[in-house]
Amino acid sequence: MKANNLNHNYQMGLLYFTHLLVTVDGYIDDLEKAAIKNLLKEEQISEQVYGEFLKAVATKKEHEVYDLGVKFLSSCTEEEKLSALVHLYRLSEADNNVHVKEVRL
């Protein structure tokens, strides 16, 4: 599902929640990495934006990542929020194993 890929808040919110989702079980497997790569392509998130995000998120605690994700997505349209939810749902199933913490998130 594709939202307005030019919306920086949407892209960043999606990245923050994606990060939470794929790291909640303690590791990122190859299926999740492939799903992230597909997400970046589908939403036209540049390597530069993704690289800057990875640098920023590396020093943050889980609650900070969550708060930033909420902050970014709260300024998005309903369509963008729904699109983010669809991406996160698909991502939660990417490794064929839905972790209990993924459900809570």
Domain membership flag for residue 2: no
Domain membership flag for residue 53: yes
Domain membership flag for residue 42: yes
Length of the chain: 105
pTM of the full structure: 0.83
Which residues lie closer than 8 Å to 9 by C-beta, 6 or more apart?
72, 73, 75, 76
Domain membership flag for residue 80: yes
Domain membership flag for residue 98: no
Which residues lie closer than 8 Å to 75 by C-beta, 6 or more apart?
9
Residue 14: closest CA among 63, 76, 102: 76
Number of separate domains in the chain: 1
User: How is residue 92 annotated by DSSP?
Assistant: H
- Count of C-beta atoms within a 10 Å radius of residue 16: 24
Domain membership flag for residue 99: no
Domain span at residue 49?
8-93
Question: Can you give the pLDDT of all 105 residues of the chain as single tens digits?
Answer: 444 446 899 999 999 999 999 888 788 888 889 999 999 999 999 999 999 999 999 999 999 999 999 999 999 999 999 999 999 988 887 666 655 454 455
